[in-house]
Amino acid sequence: MLMQPQSPDPKFDFMLKDNQKPKRRLALPGMSKPVKIILGVVLAVFILIIISSTLSGRNKGATQPIINAMARGQETLRVTHAVQLLNLQDPTTQAVAATTLSSLTSDQQQLKVYLANNHTKLSAALLAADLDKTTDAQMLSASQNNNLDQAYKTYLQQSLTKYQADLQIAFKLAGPKGKTILKNAYDGAGTLLANPPLKS
């Protein structure tokens, strides 16, 4: 006599039945595939804009002190050019002026490249932030009174000291590459200040 298989206990029906509903993908109802792709691209661009603006905001805070230092250096270069045209008399002062031009021009170029690599644009207006035409009048008056060398040395002492202070502030906020450039610029200004014509 064959035994009839017993029907499973109804309490365990849940194990035998596939009650799981199929997983549904997140879908945008009633939209064609090209429309969905366009929406995805727009969303991605929007996210990139937000990230970019956040990063550029941080970058601005870190680069503004560098721009301030560059403006100080730019003004020192401008005055040094003007003084050279007025004819310095002392050969040691002439040498300091030439070294100042070389050193600060190198600083400016390196800092411009650094800022460009950090997506920071420079303008002539930003670099002219420390422009002071009264210095020109003072140097012209000193030249007419045969006191140009001393007037320029006094100016350069004060200007390079301020330049160092600006570089120090910028150094604290800069990245590793910026710190190297700023430290070299700071040391260069210190070397100029240690020269006999400027050493107090």
Bigger pLDDT: 50 vs 104: 104
What is the per-residue pLDDT across 110-141, written as a single tens digit (0 to 9) for each?
999 999 998 888 889 999 999 999 999 999 99
pTM: 0.69
CA distance 169 to 125: 21
CA distance 127 to 117: 18
Name the pLDDT band for 23 (thresholds 50, 70, 90).
Answer: low
77: its two tokens:
């270069």
Name the pLDDT band for 19 (thresholds 50, 70, 90).
Answer: low
CA distance 121 to 72: 17
CA distance 107 to 164: 12
Q: Which of 41-45, 163-167, 184-188, 193-197 has the lowest mean pLDDT?
A: 41-45
